[in-house]
Amino acid sequence: METAEIRRRWLSFFESRGHTVVPSAPLVHDDPNLLFVNAGMVPFKPYFLGQETPPYARATSVQKCVRTLDIEEVGKTTRHGTFFQMNGNFSFGDYFKEGAVALAWELVTTPQSQGGYGFDEKDLYASVYHEDDEAIAIWKRVAGLPDDRIVRLGKKDNYWNMGVAGPGGPCSEILIDRGPEFGADRDWEAGDRYLEFWNLVFMQDDLSAVRAKDDFDIAGPLPKRNIDTGMGLERVAYLLQGVDNLYEIDEVFPVIAAAEELSGRRYGANLEDDVRFRVVADHVRSALMLIGDGVTPGNEGRGYVLRRLIRRAVRSMRLLGVDAPTLEHLLPVSKDQMRASYPELERGFGRISQVAYAEEDAFRRTLTAGTTILDVAVTKAKSSGSATLSGSEAFQLHDTYGFPIDLTLEMAAEQGLNVDEAGFRRLMAEQRDRAKADARSKKMAHGDVSVYRQVADSLGRDVEFTGYDEVVSDSRVRGLIRGGELVSTAHAGEEIEVVLDRTPLYAESGGQLADRGRIRLANGALIEVRDVQKPINGLIVHRATVLEGEAVTGDDAEAVVDVVRRRSVSRAHTATHMVHQALREELGETATQAGSENSPGRLRFDFKAQSPVPLEAMADIEAKVNSVLLDDLAVTADVMSLDEARRMGALALFGEKYGERVRVVSIGDWSIELCGGTHALRVGQLGVVKLLGEASIGSGVRRVEALVGSDAYTHLAREAAIVGQLTDQLKVRTEELPQRIASILSKLKEAEKEIAAVKQAQVLGAAPGLVATARDIAGVTFVSHDAGDGVTADDLRALVLEVRRRLGTDRPSLVSMAAVSNGRPIVIVATNDRAREAGLKAGLFVRTAAQVLGGGGGGKDDIAQGGGTDASMVSAALGAVEQQLHQRGA
């Protein structure tokens, strides 16, 4: 049974039994404690924590997940991968243990011909929490399992909690006996014989403290009991497909097959290569899914995880013997296997592949740079008589330059050196411990939203936002929060948070900054609003200061928006939509939004692109936007279902959480996007949009900034004044200014070339005299020279080559020169053909000199260059080259 079919049957089964099918949330989820969604229940966590009221009593999903704790262990075991899919069914105060067991047993054991998975009942076991006699009775009654096929396990295995105070409860797992070839009979913990593939969590306890997985305090029962189950899709796939592990299922193995073809090696031939093949298959698929959900490579957070996955895949292919680029062959294979379940991968593959291939190219350059750094470290170790590269050097290569430890081990061995791997692992462990400590501190930092939940519950409904239609609204104060606590009154000078039952003030979201304004109470109190936020879904909170009088909960109020600021922000937000559309028209559909900020009169728009936008293209984009302004298109907003919006072609953003009803903002029929922000009524109200330029803000992400309306006009007026000053000073008309400046720059460049030529001629003029100083050392004509301060590397190189030319080709010759340029020493060594025939390689001599200078170097056998940091050691460096030549002849 194909993996996509297992997925389809799951959703169909539970939908037919009253569950709402919830689409997978993006891997990047709005949870501050997680880099990625790492379990099927994560999108439902606010319901389990009581932070939000679930809109359904039963739900089911197949959730995309990524776990990153043990990336380096991927491939070494056959059950764990970075990306995986978790089938889940959930009950929020509806059915409980018996319902969950009955549903699970029915789906698992129903024959495949009747829509089930068709597992043989005689191979199935159940594990239960050892104190949960109720669950044991249910398994006997519902599934007919005898005592010898029900396993009692302790807290560590069969009690679930979130690692923090909150909901928890016993759980029960369905296991399958894979047969004696996978392990000993009744050995529940060792081996792969009794494989758990479905976990049913009976969430019934309120935990007051959690010290460890098996050490916690139970405060009492939860007000409502919930069900959270998870079935590993990949695990069930390899059980039903008759293969040994997740790497051999239909969605994964084709990548291994493609890697086999590229490398000429075979999966299953040896364990070392098998691990590499698995790493490639897992990481290519994981990278595909992460980029598909909007992640781009970077040096921290989610971007760093993606970068690491791509680099490990590329490195593994290199260790399989493939030096050429490989993702262009592997990524399309993975896409073809995953698109049945995730058709958006096909639509977005142009962008996905562009990001992935650019990262592979960057890493290949890193490998080249890392090789040079490694060469210096190896030479340093050898010169000191050591046979081992230190752990700190290996760690620096890994941590600073992204050079994988496996590659360091391999290349050091080629040079006859060991690596202090234990020291490297110790430094890695220290770094990992720091990361885990940071993660633990973040995990315990769940914001206390109980006070907001309390206010929301008292309201009994969402706060009504009226700001689309009005800027002044009558309302009532439904809550005052001061210092994190609910209060009934607040006095002049106090900082408070105000909850109204309805408000025209926009809460910051979707890149649009919050409104500012004032709230006037019926009793005369005046409150100044400086920020508006949504701490939990459905609740709008005004962060404010009491200016006059006493604010009182329950009092009638009038909320007023700062209209001038709102209009300025709305114009900027409208311009953002226009810039986005114009970018897509100019650069293609891969130029999708990656973030934005709309502030008064100014916008910042981030978009996906692998290379700079040409100036001509930027000019065309700006012209297009301002041309549409002249058309004065109407800006309209309509609320509809998500499916309707998609059929209209409305753009949705990666990582955004959309409900079933969405707001679609249209600019004529030119631009259609899902958006909850405020906008101008017509684009003509924007006046003018001026793009300030674009730049890179990270791998694969670029940023455009622009001014709108009066801010744009002021900027243009200032630029016009500058142009006027330049035309006065250069005595030309405005249209002649670019040509005149270009002429001045050209003359300046020519003058610089002439100066450089004169300086080089002066340097080369020393060549005849230097040839006259040549000495014979061990049968080699040798010239050494300190060119002093102020000589560039190019001039010194030219002098070295000129002296070598004048020495002729009749006998071996070696030229060694040094200089100081901009305070840093450089050294260049050159040899002729006869010298190289005698085994004299310029690179070996330049490394010797560069070490004395406190640096490194390298190059070809005929000419090599190095440098360092200690300019006072130039004479000593040249002396070291001469000494090395003497030793060779000894």
Q: Give 191's pLDDT tier (boundaries 50, 70, 90).
A: low
Name the nearest CA neighbour of 598 among 510, 711, 663, 697: 510
Q: E strands of 335-453, at which residues?
A: 388-389, 418-419
Two structure tokens written together for 150? 């029900």
577 labelled ligand-binding: yes
pLDDT tens digit sequence for 279-312: 999 999 999 999 998 888 876 788 888 988 998 8
Question: What is the model's pLDDT at position 484?
Answer: 86
- The pLDDT of residue 401 is above 90: no
Sequence-distant (6+) residues with CB within 8 A of 271 are none
Cα–Cα distance measured from residue 395 to residue 241, given in angstroms and rounded to the nearest whole number: 42
Name the nearest CA neighbour of 24 among 321, 293, 251: 293
Question: What is the model's pLDDT at position 480?
Answer: 95
Greatest Cα pair distance, the chain, in angstroms, is 106
Task: Work out the angle at residue 749's Cα, subtended by the Cα atoms of residues 746 and 753, and round it to the nearest 5 degrees.
Answer: 140
Question: What is the model's pLDDT at position 700?
Answer: 75
Question: What is the model's pLDDT at position 402?
Answer: 64
Sequence-distant (6+) residues with CB within 8 A of 427 are 391, 392, 395
Two structure tokens written together for 17? 């039994």
Q: Give 190's pLDDT tier (boundaries 50, 70, 90).
A: low
144 DSSP assignment: -
Task: Work out the angle at residue 584's Cα, subtended by the Cα atoms of residues 578 and 586, and round it to the nearest 5 degrees.
Answer: 100
Cα–Cα distance measured from residue 320 to residue 153, given in angstroms and rounded to the nearest whole number: 43
Task: Work out the angle at residue 611's Cα, subtended by the Cα atoms of residues 609 and 615, and round it to the nearest 5 degrees.
Answer: 105
Two structure tokens written together for 307? 């970068």
Q: Give 34's pLDDT tier (boundaries 50, 70, 90).
A: confident
Rg value, the chain, Cα: 34
| Topology of the domain comprising 566-717 | Threonyl-tRNA Synthetase; Chain A, domain 2 (3.30.980)
Average of pLDDT values for 645-667?
A: 77
Q: Give 76's pLDDT tier (boundaries 50, 70, 90).
A: confident
Tell me if 472 sits within 8 A of 479, measured CB to CB: no
Give yes or no on whether 3-242 and 566-717 have one common fold. Answer: no
- The pLDDT of residue 438 is above 60: no
Q: Is the dihedral of CA 329, 333, 335, 336 positive or negative?
A: positive
Name the nearest CA neighbour of 590 among 289, 359, 304, 355: 355
Per-domain boundaries in the chain: 3-242, 253-443, 450-561, 566-717, 765-889
| Topology of the domain comprising 450-561 | Elongation Factor Tu (Ef-tu); domain 3 (2.40.30)
446 labelled ligand-binding: no
Tell me if 93 sits within 8 A of 57, measured CB to CB: yes
Task: Work out the angle at residue 205's Cα, subtended by the Cα atoms of residues 204 and 207, and round it to the nearest 5 degrees.
Answer: 155
Cα–Cα distance measured from residue 711 to residue 159, given in angstroms and rounded to the nearest whole number: 60
679 labelled ligand-binding: yes
Q: Give 380's pLDDT tier (boundaries 50, 70, 90).
A: confident
Q: Please give the CATH architecture assigned to the domain spanning 765-889.
A: Roll (3.10)
* Distance set, CA 871 to CA 196, 665, 800, 827, 876 (Å): 66, 64, 19, 11, 10
Question: What is the model's pLDDT at position 443?
Answer: 38
130 labelled ligand-binding: no
- The pLDDT of residue 330 is above 50: yes
CATH of 3-242, one of 3.30.930.10, 3.40.50.2000, 3.30.70.890, 3.40.640.10: 3.30.930.10
Two structure tokens written together for 305? 């995880």
pLDDT tens digit sequence for 493-527: 999 999 999 999 999 998 899 999 999 999 999 99
Mean pLDDT of all residues belonging to the chain: 89
Q: E strands of 399-494, at which residues?
A: 418-419, 464-465, 472-482, 485-487, 489-491
How many residues are present in the chain?
890
pLDDT tens digit sequence for 517-563: 999 999 999 999 999 999 888 899 999 999 999 999 999 999 999 99
Question: What is the model's pLDDT at position 449?
Answer: 75
Burial class (CB within 10 angstroms; exposed 0-12, middle 13-18, buried 19+) of 494: middle
pLDDT tens digit sequence for 757-783: 887 788 888 899 999 999 999 899 999
Q: Give 369's pLDDT tier (boundaries 50, 70, 90).
A: low
Question: What is the model's pLDDT at position 197?
Answer: 93
